[in-house]
């Protein structure tokens, strides 16, 4: 009985801990400079803390064993050390030293990793040298704007690897928090100020992760907080530039498929465009996710697989998948109409 319980515990621990190994989602697999430094701080402080625990437990056990009443006798009075300067200096200086060991690198990296002076730098033509992405968090989706490039997108954040990417973080409704566990963070998105930081995505680590990292909202923000996911496509610089060019030259698709044409009509008739922009130019609607390039998105609603089936389910009853979202509770569209709308949305792709 005892043995099987132990085995069960070990087995479930293995299953549980296996979740920590996902390269796309784990702070334990740092995939860039910021995550590296944060991982170092994590391990360094854990090391110090475990050493303290280890030493204390050892001394405690020795004392417990050596000074048992049974061994030293009922009447034994131990050596009195009250007021010993030597001992007091030892147990004051060791903790001070340890706290300093924890504090110095923590403070150093807090300032170093928060250094965003690079986002102000411009080249001779006055163009910004670094890539800046403006992130707006909304219940329960993410808007990404590239002010220097004149484009915007939602849910899938596209960034180049091997360079610092600066972020300006804000929220439109309540407080959220922007977190890409593998790359570092997290930082709150607030409604009343803009927070800034940078992340770096290591080309090799990104490659190992299939050039895709998972992003999370890390601040309880409502009933669908847990579904407020986004994806980070971290791709080599050349590919990133191709993507930017495709987005800058984005054209609405010329539809030939009848189903998709019907879907486009439904999109107009149902006023979907009142909230959803369908082209990536800066200045589009920010009321709901931008749908340009939707056909190339990794997910529907941030966490469902991006296929027609899930898209239809989502459009039909969004509230089943993201309770409290601002679309509507249930759509009156028929199954055929949903099929057409999904076909249209899937046809929205950059680089055609
Ligand atoms: Cu947004 Cu939690």
What does the pLDDT look like over 63-105, one tens digit per residue?
999 888 888 888 888 888 888 999 999 999 999 999 999 999 9
What is the value of pTM for the model shown?
Answer: 0.87
User: Nearest CA to 289 among 177, 144, 148, 170?
Assistant: 144
Q: What is the largest CA-CA distance in the chain?
A: 99
Instruction: Give the pLDDT band (50/70/90) at residue 106.
Output: very high
Instruction: Give the pLDDT band (50/70/90) at residue 112.
Output: very high
Distance between CA 39 and CA 35 in Å, rounded?
6
Q: CB burial class (10 A; 0-12, 13-18, 19+) of residue 82?
A: exposed
Ligand 1 atom nearest the C-alpha of 228 is 1
State in Å: Cα 327 to ligand 1 middle. 17
β-bridge mates for residue 212, sequence order: 233
Ligand 1 atom nearest the C-alpha of 221 is 2
Q: CB burial class (10 A; 0-12, 13-18, 19+) of residue 222?
A: middle
- Does residue 233 contact residue 212 with C-beta atoms inside 8 Å? yes
- The backbone torsions φ and ψ at residue 326, rounded to the nearest 5 degrees and listed phi first, read -95, 10
State in Å: Cα 280 to ligand 1 middle. 24
Residue-wise pLDDT for 228-244, tens only, equals 999 999 999 999 999 99
Pocket of ligand 1 (CB under 6 A): 137, 140, 176, 217, 219-221, 225, 228
State in Å: Cα 143 to ligand 1 middle. 13
State in Å: Cα 219 to ligand 1 middle. 5
Residue-wise pLDDT for 297-318, tens only, equals 999 998 999 999 999 999 999 9
In this predicted structure, what is the pLDDT of residue 352? 63
β-bridge mates for residue 299, sequence order: 305
3-class SS of residue 225? helix
Residue nearest to ligand 1 atom 1, measured at CA: 176
């Amino acid at each position: 009985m005892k043995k099987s319980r132990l085995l069960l515990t070990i087995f479930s621990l293995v299953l549980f801990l296996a979740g920590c190994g996902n390269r796309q989602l784990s702070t334990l697999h740092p995939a860039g400079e910021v995550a590296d430094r944060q991982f170092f701080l994590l391990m360094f402080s854990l090391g110090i803390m475990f050493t303290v625990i280890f030493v204390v437990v050892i001394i405690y056990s020795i004392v417990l064993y050596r000074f048992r009443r049974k061994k030293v006798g009922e009447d034994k009075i131990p050596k009195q050390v009250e007021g010993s300067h030597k001992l007091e200096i030892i147990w004051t200086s060791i903790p001070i030293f340890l706290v300093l060991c924890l504090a110095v690198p923590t403070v150093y990296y807090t300032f170093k990793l928060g250094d965003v002076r690079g986002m102000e730098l411009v080249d001779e033509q006055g163009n910004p040298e670094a890539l800046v992405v403006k992130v707006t968090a909304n219940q329960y989706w993410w808007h990404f704007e590239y002010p220097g490039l004149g484009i915007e997108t939602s849910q899938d954040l596209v960034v180049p690897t091997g360079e610092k990417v600066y972020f300006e973080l804000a929220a439109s409704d309540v407080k959220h928090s922007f977190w890409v566990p593998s790359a570092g963070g997290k930082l709150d998105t607030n409604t009343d100020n803009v927070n800034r930081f940078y992340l770096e995505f290591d080309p090799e680590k990104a490659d190992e992760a299939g050039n895709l990292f998972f992003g999370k909202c890390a601040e309880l923000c409502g009933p669908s907080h847990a579904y407020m996911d986004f994806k980070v496509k971290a791709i080599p610089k050349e590919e990133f530039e191709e993507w930017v060019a495709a987005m800058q030259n984005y054209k609405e698709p010329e539809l030939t498929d009848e189903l998709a044409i019907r879907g486009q009509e439904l999109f107009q008739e149902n006023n979907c465009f009142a909230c959803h922009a369908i082209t990536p130019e800066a200045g589009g609607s920010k009321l709901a996710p931008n749908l340009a390039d939707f056909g190339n998105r990794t997910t529907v609603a941030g966490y469902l697989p991006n296929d027609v089936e899930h898209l239809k389910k989502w459009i039909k009853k969004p509230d089943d998948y993201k309770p409290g979202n601002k679309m509507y509770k249930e759509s009156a569209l028929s199954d055929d109409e949903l099929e057409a709308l999904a076909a249209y949305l899937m046809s929205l792709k950059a680089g055609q």
